Structure 1
Amino acid sequence: MKGLIQSFADFPDPRRQGRIQHRFIDVLIIAVSAVIAGADSWTDIASYGRSKEDWLRTFLRLEAGIPSHDTFRRVFTLLDPETFEQCFYEWVSGFFLALDREVIAIDGKTVRRSFNKAIKQGPLHIVSAFATEQGISLGQLAVDGKSNEITAIPELLSRLSLKGNIVTLDAMGCQRGIAQNILDQQADYILALKGNQSKKHKAVVAFCQTECLSYPSSINPTYDAFDDRHGRTVRRRGWVIPVTDRLSGLQDWPGVRNVVMVETIRSVQYVKGVTSDLRYYLSSCSDAPEIQIAAVRKHWAIENSLHWVLDVTFREDDSRIREQVSTRMFAQLRKMALNIVKRDKSSKISLRARRKSAGWDNSYMESLLFNNP
């Protein structure tokens, strides 16, 4: 918690000086603790604070007691989200390990029930960065809608330390400018290639169909593995194809070295038929083929280990917080809570069970807060 306090020590408090009753750091720590314990609203946070006031006083000042739910909502709504997110990244940097070739996945998620029909306000869309190997949320940026991800991604990337890592993005992020932005930070990219880059996609598909999937093929897969469990058999094959003159139309793409093609063939017990899926990627990596194909699979960690967890364990899509800033700030609190809970390596129980234990057991909550930076 020392790192959290230090990262937010100079955070500009927008409240009128001379009328502040509750220290911002007290408000923040109560809120984070409450969200860890299962709070889904500002009312929940205030209720948690009141029920745990005696314990909270052992390490917080609380000179004016526990703030009301209106105070929590008002304080977080007044904050500048971008400054808060910068402090969040500074905090994360204190325990984010500089691993060699960490795969950093970038993807967007819509907070589905944050819309407000009365004022014709659509749901909030948030672009997040996720360190797949360490399971850490690195940062977020809110945008008006999915179509605006293209403008938000470079800004989010500029806030991160990418040097030496591999950045993965879906087709929305397959843009020349974004590719160059990643290269400028001395990192590499693997970008999903789909119809939004129509000419390049058609050229790559035609080449791969002829050279890789025909029989006999001139280019053999560099990866071929079976996964047989839970009544489902999945075969994954991968090709990493160096970009040469034979792959027309890619030479002008910044830093591209390879085309990665992944084929997934699925058969499910008791279900007739087999499904097959082909996906294509542009890669600037010079790593071994198996590392590049592994990076493609790791990209899904942002869906399975971040977005799914936020939806199922933290019930983000059920939240009816509608104010845009308030929704954005609560999303950040969830990610702070998730980072703290996931860093507990002493327990083998599920994230949901850890949150419940933290709500019931003050000593366990203390271990989560004080054993984290």
Structure 2
Amino acid sequence: MCRKSATACLVKSPALEGVAGLSLVERLRMLPDPRRRRGVRHPFVAVLLAAASAVIAGARSYAAIGQWPASAPQHALARLGARVTGTPGVRAAPGPATIRRGIALVCPGGLADLTGASPGGADSVAVDGKAARGSRHGQTPAAHLLAAMTGDGQTVTQPRVPDKTSEITCFAALLGPYDLSGVTVTADALHTHRDHARFLVEEKNAHYLPVVKASQPGLHRRLRPLPWKDATARRYDREVSHGHRETRVTRALTVTGLDFPHAVQAMRVLRHGTGLKTGKCSRQTVYAITDLTSQQAPPQRLGRLARSQRTIENRLHLVRDTAFREDASKIRTGHGPENMATLRNLAINTLRQHGHHNIAAGLRHASYDPFNRPLNLLNIP
């Protein structure tokens, strides 16, 4: 296992499907408090809610997160459930050290699962990994995080890949706790594995669409000479985004004897790109395979599913790097790197759920009223 499972971290509800209708406060109450009982003064849920609210208000570090509750008025501390002092009606904010210990100690699998979106009912789920570069220290490698995100930009979960292992060994553990019936899982070439295909189709009743690159020489060699020019199933897409004009030509063929579990269709995407400022042209050919038939997934849908894999890079990893400066973060100890990434994912999910498609603009909006808007966005009563 690449992480603690949800059942190892939760003591009240072992089934993730059972928490779908619960509020964030109710979900966090399911997490066991990892702190030693002696000397505990602040409710654990209040500590986590303070951290989540601070991140939505724009906090990027432990120091910034600690300053948020220290400056919070009494009405905000009351909503968080902060500790009541000896003076009636006066609440005490958890200190920076208390928040830092809580984030570093809390079970990363449980926190990620309970604060993530549910993949049930989604058309697709994309899987991709990212290294938190700033967490590298001396001989200790950077924390590598494996994320799953729905096609509409909601992060499902994100565990840490243990050192000296790879994303491949964590694939089944990442998706195992979730109901993926009818969902198409997309992934890069690293996850084009027979065991992954069997796991998705035979155990999860899901579908797959992984990319095939030269790193799978046998499979890649069988796909390249297929009669792509004769394919009648094709799709043309054009778009302009981020100063780049791109044309994509998607062609699909029904295949037999591909020697890959459950594969019945192959696709090829030709990407022609032009930089609007530089005029530089680029060309890329991408192959993929799927268990979806031509009736289930014509080229229009295949192209959309293939785009969802790129979405996780642009709408999650890039956003965390630019809006939260994740690669510059020096948080390294304990479960800090993965849990801080989870809090950032929660902020991104929450802002998108409330109509903020530009995350940087959403963070600025929350920061203008930092002790009300983040709590309102998180639906904290």
Distance of aligned partners of 1:16 and 1:186 in 2 relative to their CA distance in 1, 3 Å threshold: same
Residue 165 of structure 1: which of 169, 183, 187 is its match? 183
Q: How many residues align?
A: 349
Counterpart of 1:77? 104
**Paired residues for 1:109-188 under 5 Å:** 109-117=130-138, 120-133=139-152, 135-144=153-162, 148-183=166-201, 184-188=203-207
Could you list the runs of 5+ residues in structure 1 that have no partner in the other structure?
none
- Whole-Å Cα distance in 1 between the matches of residues 145 and 57 of structure 2? 23
1:98 aligns with 2:121: yes
User: Displacement of 1:97 after TM fit?
Assistant: 6.2
CA distance in 1 between counterparts of 2:310 and 2:368 reads: 33
Q: Paired residue for 2:219, among 200, 211, 214?
A: 200
C-alpha contact 1:115 1:122 (8 A) present in aligned 2: yes
RMSD of the alignment, in Å? 2.4
Residue 233 of structure 2 contacts residue 251 of structure 2 at CA under 8 Å; is this kept in 1? yes
String of CA shifts for 1:168-217, please: whole Å, max 9, x gaps. Answer: 0000010001111111211100000012211111121122xxx22xxxx3
Structure 1 residues 57-115: Cα deviation after superposition (integer angstroms, max 9, x where no partner): 331232351122111111222222223333334xx33xx6624xx11000000101111
Q: How far, CA to CA, are the matches of 1:265 and 1:238 in structure 2?
A: 12
Q: Evaluate the alpha carbon distance shift between residue 2 and residue 175 of structure 1 in structure 2; reply closer, same or farther with a 3 A threshold.
A: closer
Rounded to whole Å, the distance in 2 between the matches of 1:231 and 1:11 is 44
Greater mean deviation of Cα atoms: 52-61 or 317-326: 52-61
| Residue 42 of structure 1, CA deviation | 1.6
Higher mean displacement: 298-307 or 8-17: 8-17
TM-score (normalised: structure 2)? 0.85
Partner residue in 1 for 2:48: 28
Q: In structure 2, what residue type is equivalent to 1:105?
A: A
Structure 2 unpaired stretches of 5+: 1-20, 86-91
* Structure-2 separation of matches of 1:291 and 1:340: 27
Secondary structure at 2:247 match in 1: strand
**Aligned residue identity for 1:88:** T
Is the contact made by 1:168 and 1:299 (CA closer than 8 Å) also made in structure 2? yes
Partner of 2:95 in structure 1? 68
The residue that corresponds to 2:264 in the other structure is 257
- The secondary structure found in structure 2 opposite 1:33 is helix
Cα distance between partner residues in 1 of 2:171 and 2:243: 39
SS at structure 2 position matched to 1:238? strand
| Matches of 1:35 and 1:48, distance apart in 2 | 9
Q: Alignment identity in percent? A: 27
Partner of 1:283: 290
Residues in 1 aligned to 2:154 and 2:276: alpha-carbon distance in whole angstroms: 35
